[in-house]
Amino acid sequence: MKYKNPSLSVQERVNDLLPRMTLEEKIAQCIQIYIPPDHPGEIVDRIRAVGLGSRILGAVSLAGNVSQRTAGIEDLNEIQRIAMNEFHLGIPVIHGLDVIHGLRVIFPIPLGLAATFDPDAIQKTYNIAAEECFRLGIHWSFAPMLDIAHDPRWGRIVEGFGEDPYLGAKMAVAAIKGFQGELDENGYQSQDHILACAKHYIGYGGAEGGRDYNTAEITDHTLRNIYLPPFRAAVQAGVGSVMSAFEDLNGEPASGSRYLLTDLLKEELGFNGFVISDWASVAELIHHRVAANEREAAQIAFDAGVDMEMVTECYAHHLADLVMEGIISMERLDDAVRRILTQKFQLGLFDHPYADVQKSLEIRDLSAYHAAAREVTARSMVLLKNNGILPLPGDVRRIALIGPFVNQRRALLGTWVNDVLADEPQTLEEALRASCPDVEILTAPNGLMDEMIMIAAEADIVLLALGESNARNGEYNSIASLNLPAGQEELAQAVAGMGKPLAVLVFAGRPVTLTRILPHADALLYAWHPGSMGAAAAVDILLGKVNPAGKLPVTFPRGEGQIPVHYNHKSTGRDHPRYLDMPVEPLFPFGFGLSYTRFEITDLVVEPVEIPAGASVNVSVTVTNTGECKGEEVVQCYLQDCVSRRTRPERELKGFQRIALQPGESRRVEFTIGPDEMSYYGAGGSWVLEPGAFKVWVGNDCKASLEGSFLLK
């Protein structure tokens, strides 16, 4: 049979296979189910008879925070053997799992990865995750999560790349390239790569009140200009799958919206991969009360453009009848199956369907991955305050290491970790003792606050490790107050009262309220939930082995009363809206982060200052390291469309570069602002480029004040 011939192109093989399939066999490809490891039950009979689209390897929908056994290679290969040899067409099953920030070696949470402002580092990170997945027989990760988030109360802010469309788009491309690699001349992916999944399409982060799964009301103008850019970039980068979201967006559940899934995603953006629903989001159309039963749910979702149903069985039970009754066309079914088969051929699943047990054993040595993780983790951490006590002086003799995060392991990994596979991390105490063998490290082994205060009095310097549990982040884990967990602010205040230099480390999966501890801290390092090498990376920064350069990918409010607060707000008809009881300025702005050295950004030049439609301008500055040690700076370029037919943000990030400079070194840094950066979705959702004046600012956070301008004629 031609479709089994690997020398043919992907499309030739799909075109040969599709007509050979019966209605039931086509529908089977539109189904993803969970098969209990070792207990496949009657599933194997179904696979023998009609095949199966996909097997999800997570047993529960809240896979991010529960320990669960993931199927082993032998189990995966056995199901695959049945699909390839006992099902007459031999169509492989694609195995999917949430590998959100690493499989065994865990990297920082995606919000922390975004703080690197370093797409190359992110691509390498996701490439390592892909290699680990591939070697263990996992073909598909339900990542990257591209949901723009303005509300830190939302538990899933942890899982995305923050508040900015441009940063989110750059991170999306990096993650997808890391997972999928590049297609070869025949349209096939190379080994050690897996299928990516841009999720959750779309507007999930706009949940009312920051309450996960809640309704979102987002105008089409805002949806297209703020929430869509990361997905648009993902499609342009060739992402092979997109996951439809749970929430009701503007009166339609995203998993039942033909406008979102077909008109916008597939037709307007040209997405040619396949759409998978979120966990049970097809059947949940009944809970949204837009479908009276499973049959209506199947019809609505499939007609809207959901090609594969995750876990529930609406398609399995009703799609055949819907097609035979002509309610769903065979053309639509063939379209869905074509999309799914294309990805399976592209992945090489027909030609390399089995996980190589020997190869999986080869990656027992995680040292190379650990080194990469240690590096990218240090690049993710953000120095928010430092009056000079960091890096720790080389002659420090006694350090008090106190706080709830001194001996944490699992919490360092963050949410969305497959516990049974994850590599156990070092604790902060272990990492500090390993790096400072000659320094006396004082700790409070009983974890009692009074002990902590007592040892603080005896030390030269105090390191206070605070933060929130991984269980307070992720799916379904939204909070009403952004305060650190009970007691931590009081501890910081009491320790500060002992009058010793105090460096605070915060381990969290979201912006937490730092307003009351900031005045007591001489230094504050935001470490996120940093993953397997988090403790070692944090110590590298404390000791000055790494000079921090992370930047905030999300605004830090003074408290939840300011939410939503984000830098790319619009101009308003009157002076900026205010509160009578709190400043409107957040505690820390988007793009902010300090270094152990200092950088000056000067000599901004925009050329040319007048351009015709379709042309670009070059914006350049000189960046100088005016401090005493080498360091990296994330130089950021912001743009304002001065007058436009639809209201626009006062400024938007349109370029960033992370550069390394030796002390005293200067370098010119250039940004190109072209039609794509100047255009936006205007009236009626049309992509427009309007003539007029533009301003640009370049600096080291969103408050950049070095200004230039140009005219688009």
Active-site residue list: 278
- Mapping DSSP to helix (H, G, I), strand (E, B) and coil, where does residue 451 land? helix
We find the least distance from the C-beta atom of residue 289 to ligand GLC, in angstroms, to be 20
| Spatial contact of 302 and 268, defined as CB atoms under 8 Å apart | no
We find the least distance from the C-beta atom of residue 98 to ligand GLC, in angstroms, to be 5
Contacts of 4 (CB under 8 A, 6+ apart): 13, 90, 350
- Burial of 222: CB neighbours in 10 Å, binned 0-12, 13-18, 19+: middle
Cα distance between residue 661 and residue 666, in whole Å = 7
Neighbours of 181 (CB within 10 A): 17
- Burial of 575: CB neighbours in 10 Å, binned 0-12, 13-18, 19+: exposed
For 110: left if phi > 0, alpha if psi spans -120 to 50, otherwise beta; the answer is alpha
Cα distance between residue 445 and residue 402, in whole Å = 9
We find the least distance from the C-beta atom of residue 482 to ligand GLC, in angstroms, to be 23
Cα distance between residue 622 and residue 410, in whole Å = 43
We find the least distance from the C-beta atom of residue 9 to ligand GLC, in angstroms, to be 31
We find the least distance from the C-beta atom of residue 310 to ligand GLC, in angstroms, to be 7
- Burial of 583: CB neighbours in 10 Å, binned 0-12, 13-18, 19+: exposed
> Is 3 or 279 the residue whose CB approaches ligand GLC more closely?
279
| Spatial contact of 141 and 276, defined as CB atoms under 8 Å apart | no
We find the least distance from the C-beta atom of residue 160 to ligand GLC, in angstroms, to be 11
Cα distance between residue 273 and residue 529, in whole Å = 32
Q: Which of residues 331-360 bind ligand GLC (CB under 6 A)?
A: none
Cα distance between residue 654 and residue 643, in whole Å = 17
Of 58, 53, 221, 194, the residue nearest 137 (C-alpha): 194
> Is 98 or 252 the residue whose CB approaches ligand GLC more closely?
98
- Mapping DSSP to helix (H, G, I), strand (E, B) and coil, where does residue 96 land? strand
Q: Which of residues 458-517 bind ligand GLC (CB under 6 A)?
A: 475
| Spatial contact of 129 and 99, defined as CB atoms under 8 Å apart | yes
> Is 63 or 337 the residue whose CB approaches ligand GLC more closely?
63
By rule CB under 6 A, what string of x and - marks binding of each residue 110-129 to ligand GLC?
Answer: --------------------
Q: Which of residues 612-671 bind ligand GLC (CB under 6 A)?
A: none
Cα distance between residue 131 and residue 135, in whole Å = 6
| Spatial contact of 634 and 590, defined as CB atoms under 8 Å apart | no
Of 24, 174, 169, the residue nearest 553 (C-alpha): 169
Cα distance between residue 458 and residue 628, in whole Å = 31
Cα distance between residue 52 and residue 87, in whole Å = 9
- CA 509 to mean position of chain CA atoms: 12
Cα distance between residue 201 and residue 127, in whole Å = 23
> Is 98 or 701 the residue whose CB approaches ligand GLC more closely?
98
By rule CB under 6 A, what string of x and - marks binding of each residue 265-294 to ligand GLC?
Answer: -------------xx---------------
We find the least distance from the C-beta atom of residue 259 to ligand GLC, in angstroms, to be 21
Q: Is 98 in the site for ligand GLC (CB under 6 A)?
A: yes
| Spatial contact of 91 and 17, defined as CB atoms under 8 Å apart | yes
> Is 63 or 384 the residue whose CB approaches ligand GLC more closely?
63
Helix (H) or strand (E) holding 17: helix 10-17
Q: Which of residues 139-168 bind ligand GLC (CB under 6 A)?
A: 142
First to last CA, the chain: 59
Dig out the tokens for 292 from the structure. Answer: 């009276």
We find the least distance from the C-beta atom of residue 652 to ligand GLC, in angstroms, to be 27
Cα distance between residue 29 and residue 23, in whole Å = 10
> Is 216 or 503 the residue whose CB approaches ligand GLC more closely?
216
We find the least distance from the C-beta atom of residue 475 to ligand GLC, in angstroms, to be 6
Cα distance between residue 266 and residue 22, in whole Å = 25
Q: Which residues pair with 244 in a beta bridge?
A: 201
Of 135, 43, 141, 38, the residue nearest 86 (C-alpha): 43
> Is 58 or 165 the residue whose CB approaches ligand GLC more closely?
58
- Mapping DSSP to helix (H, G, I), strand (E, B) and coil, where does residue 38 land? coil
We find the least distance from the C-beta atom of residue 279 to ligand GLC, in angstroms, to be 3
Distinct helix (H) and strand (E) counts, the chain? 21, 26
We find the least distance from the C-beta atom of residue 476 to ligand GLC, in angstroms, to be 8
Q: Which of residues 42-61 bind ligand GLC (CB under 6 A)?
A: 58, 61
* Helix 294-304 × helix 330-346 angle, to 10°: 70
> Is 58 or 708 the residue whose CB approaches ligand GLC more closely?
58
By rule CB under 6 A, what string of x and - marks binding of each residue 166-205 to ligand GLC?
Answer: ---------------------------------x------
Residues found in the chain: 713
| Spatial contact of 330 and 311, defined as CB atoms under 8 Å apart | no
We find the least distance from the C-beta atom of residue 25 to ligand GLC, in angstroms, to be 25
Residue 318 phi/psi, 5-degree rounding, is -130, -15
> Is 144 or 501 the residue whose CB approaches ligand GLC more closely?
144
Interface with ligand GLC: number of residues (CB under 6 A) = 9
> Is 279 or 590 the residue whose CB approaches ligand GLC more closely?
279
> Is 175 or 514 the residue whose CB approaches ligand GLC more closely?
175
> Is 311 or 503 the residue whose CB approaches ligand GLC more closely?
311
Residue ranges in contact with ligand GLC by CB under 6 A? 58, 61, 63, 98, 142, 199, 278-279, 475
